[in-house]
Amino acid sequence: MKMAWKEMMKYKMRYIILGSIIFLISLLTLSISGLANGLSQDNAALIKNMPEGTFYMEESAEESYNFSSLSDSQINEVKNIDDNATFFSIQMGEFNDSEEQKHSLAYVSASDDQHFPAVEQGEIILDQSFAEEGLAEGDTIGNELTDEDLTVAGFVEQEKFSHSPVGFISSDDYSSMYDTDTFQLAFSTESDAAVDELSAFSNDEFLNTIPSYSAEQLSLNMIIAFLYVISGMLFAIFFYMINVQKLGTFGILKAVGVKTITLFKMMWAQMFIITVISLLLASGISELFNIFAPSGMPFHLTLDMILYSSAAFIAIGFVGATLSGIQIKKVEPMQAINQGGA
Amino acid sequence: MALFQLDNIQKTFKHGTTSEQILQSIDLELTKGALTALTGASGSGKSTLLTIAAGLQETTEGTIRFEDKTLTAISAEQVREVRAKHFGFVFQQAHLVPFLTVKEQLELMLDTAELKWSKEKRRSRIKETLESVGMWSHRDSQPENLSGGEKQRVAIARSIIHEPKMLFADEPTASLDSKRSAEVMSLIQGLSKELDITVLMVTHDEDVLQYADRTVEMKDGKII
């Protein structure tokens, strides 16, 4: 470690350049990870906030929840496997506020309040973002699907679906608005048993049935994966070039008896120091951005994500540096002795 | 009494379908504490013999014995351990680690030899060794700030800091002028006597031979 640090201090500029590039790549990776997670929350916070369980949807709906409509017999079958199952529906819609301004939202109605807020007939509980737009508790809102106004009964944090804020309404209001007396989906935390004519989905599988969710996440995750690969290659190329310049020194050190593993440890220590400093800076800046980003921006970076990303960067840096270190293993003391040196 | 013994050492290099024998049945015994100079014309095989003796390259045939160990019969890792603990090296160029100070070059060698010395003993040994080569005042200098002769003196200090039993020197004065060359040779000779180190040194410099206890001349891969 001491030798690694000494060398870095001696040749500061080359290590600062590498560190700067790693810092920029890690900052970009964390930013895109934050954006991917933010978009994921924006697209599906309603589902992501639910506990792990099984979602049931009509088989004939072909994985499009809005085409699903559970029959009474299907509802009974789900109740047979889990008496506490929740039934719910989601419909994209809109409402007009007291100033006749239109707002789009996803109406959600459920059979009980196990996983969603309890709401009385004639009331609506809205996502917090509407409060930021000026709506307040007690305000009334209307829409073209019903003559009855709904009173805002409260707000909930981060409840979004398909990039729209959610409004929770009672099943009676939902029935009158959409002229239906059933639900689209069932959710059970206790059973994942197969039910005739219903498709079962885990939470992650259900997220992928949301239009655009998987396409959006795959694109961003692809970029993140490429950034990891680039950082690994960068370490490999950088240490390859540095090691080529140091082969003479390595050869002499091997000649006097220094173990090859000691030379590898020196390189790993340098990789570790550069990566940790770069990650600390990148994490700090990302976290500041997380705090100060405009509220409308879908950016959500968690400590877990920072820790996983950092672990991935360190692991990839280790692999990249080790691959480039094959030269260290190959170098013969004789090569170095026959060359000039300090 | 022989501390180091070479028996029937042969070295052949293969170039495609042809082969070239560089060393032919070399037998050599080195007496404890003696400074032996290997001399001969360029291409006579003296440097090859030195590097083979030091365990830096393998023999084609033959046996190398150091104390009770047969270096040609043990693993590469065991040979490395012998090099680290019992051998010292001085090369034509100083080959100092460019980012370590003079003192750190010696500390590195002590770490490599894995000696269980106290911090106090390490400190005093480093001071003593650097004083013996006249480099204590340069202990915090970087190699780039030293002259050729100073670098070579640091290289000598590095080669003896861990109290080796053998010192291998390959043309240690080749890059120095005659004055510096004499200084370095006096130093090697003095340290060899003082610390009872057995020295095998390659040189083609006639002036250097006066410092040797014994001169072994080589020609065409044989001792003559």
pLDDT score, position A325? 82
**Both tokens assigned to A91:** 């419909």
Distance from C-alpha of A298 to C-alpha of A285, rounded to nearest angstrom: 17
pLDDT score, position A273? 93
Task: Flag the least confident range among A54-58, B79-83, B156-160, B175-179.
Answer: B175-179
Q: Are residues A36 and A75 in the same domain?
A: no
Task: Flag the least confident range among A55-64, A101-110, A330-339.
Answer: A330-339
Domain that includes residue A188, residue range: 53-201
Q: Is residue A341 predicted with pLDDT exceeding 70?
A: no
Q: Which residues in chain A are closer than 8 Å to B142, comparing Cβ atoms?
A: 10
Distance from C-alpha of B87 to C-alpha of A294, rounded to nearest angstrom: 67
pLDDT score, position B1? 62
Per the CB < 8 A criterion, the answer to whether A86 and A111 are in contact is yes
Number of structural domains found in chain A: 2
Q: Which of A10, A262, A337 sits opposite B91 (nearest CB)?
A: A337
Q: Is residue B2 predicted with pLDDT exceeding 70?
A: yes
* Mean pLDDT in residue range B113-137: 92
Q: Which residues in chain A are closer than 8 Å to B95, comparing Cβ atoms?
A: 248-249, 252, 336-337, 341-342
Task: Flag the least confident range among A331-335, B140-144, B153-157.
Answer: A331-335
- 8 Å CB contact of B84 and A11: no
- 8 Å CB contact of B95 and A7: no
pLDDT score, position A124? 95
Mutate to test the interface with B, among A337, A338, A339 (most CBs of B within 10 A): A337
Q: Is residue B116 predicted with pLDDT exceeding 80?
A: yes
Residue A180 is assigned to a structural domain of this protein? yes
- Dump pLDDT digits (tens) for A147-165: 888 999 999 998 999 999 9
Mutate to test the interface with B, among A256, A265, A329, A335 (most CBs of B within 10 A): A256
Full DSSP string of chain B:
-EEEEEEEEEEEEEETTEEEEEEEEEEEEEETT-EEEEEESTTSSHHHHHHHHTTSS--SEEEEEETTEEGGGS-HHHHHHHHHHHEEEE-SS----TTS-HHHHHHHHHHHTT----HHHHHHHHHHHHHHTT-GGGTT--GGGS-HHHHHHHHHHHHHTT--SEEEEESTTTTS-HHHHHHHHHHHHHHHHHHT-EEEEE---GGGGGG-SEEEEEETTEE-
- How is domain B30-47+75-217 classified at the architecture level of CATH? 3-Layer(aba) Sandwich (3.40)
Q: Which residues in chain B are closer than 8 Å to A340, comparing Cβ atoms?
A: 93
Residue A342 is assigned to a structural domain of this protein? no
**Both tokens assigned to A325:** 């270190």
Q: Which of A256, A334, A340 sits opposite B89 (nearest CB)?
A: A256
Q: Which of A7, A256, A334 sits opposite B83 (nearest CB)?
A: A256
pLDDT, chain A, mean: 89
pLDDT score, position A52? 95
- 8 Å CB contact of B109 and A337: no
pLDDT, chain B, mean: 91
Q: Are residues A170 and A245 in the same domain?
A: no
Q: CA of B99: which chain A residue's CA is closest? A: A7
Q: Are residues A143 and A265 in the same domain?
A: no
Q: Are residues A247 and A309 in the same domain?
A: yes
Tally A–B CB contacts below 8 A: 77
Q: Are residues A197 and A63 in the same domain?
A: yes
Task: Flag the least confident range among A292-301, B47-56, B131-140.
Answer: A292-301
pLDDT score, position A338? 66
Q: Are residues A172 and A230 in the same domain?
A: no
| Burial readout A64-83 (b: 16 or more C-beta within 10 A, e: otherwise) | ebeebbbeeebbebbeebbe
Please name the residue that has the structure tokens 């057995």: B198
pLDDT score, position B118? 93
Q: Is residue B158 predicted with pLDDT exceeding 80?
A: yes
Taking the CB of residue B119, how many other CB atoms lie within 10 A of it? 7
| Residue A322 amino acid letter | T
Q: Are residues A103 and A238 in the same domain?
A: no
CA distance to partner chain B, nearest, from residue A9 (Å): 8
Instruction: Say yes or no: B51 contacts chain A, CB-CB below 8 A.
Output: yes
Q: Is residue A340 predicted with pLDDT exceeding 50?
A: no
Q: Are residues A61 and A176 in the same domain?
A: yes
pLDDT score, position A107? 95
- 8 Å CB contact of B89 and A249: no
Interface of A with B (CB under 8 A): 3, 6-7, 9-11, 248-249, 252-259, 262, 332-334, 336-337, 339-342
Q: CA of B146: which chain A residue's CA is closest? A: A342
Q: Are residues A71 and A13 in the same domain?
A: no
Per the CB < 8 A criterion, the answer to whether A286 and A301 are in contact is yes
Q: Which of A170, A201, A232 is the last residue of a domain?
A: A201
Q: Domain spans of chain B?
A: 30-47+75-217
- Top-confidence residue, B175 or B103: B103
A101 class by beta-carbon count within 10 Å (0-12 exposed, 13-18 middle, 19+ buried):
exposed
Radius of gyration from C-alpha coordinates of chain A: 29
Residue A342: pLDDT band by 50, 70, 90 thresholds?
very low
* Mean pLDDT in residue range A200-207: 94
Q: Is residue B82 predicted with pLDDT exceeding 70?
A: yes
- 8 Å CB contact of B80 and A334: no
Q: Are residues A291 and A219 in the same domain?
A: yes
Q: Which residues in chain B are closer than 8 Å to A341, comparing Cβ atoms?
A: 93-96
% residues pLDDT > 90 (chain B) = 61
> Which among B50, B5, B68, B3 is positioned nearest to B31, based on CA atoms?
B3
Q: Are residues A186 and A281 in the same domain?
A: no
Q: Which of B51, B93, B98 sits opposite A340 (nearest CB)?
A: B93
CA distance to partner chain A, nearest, from residue B85 (Å): 8
- Dump pLDDT digits (tens) for A206-260: 999 987 888 888 888 898 888 888 888 888 888 888 888 888 888 888 888 999 9
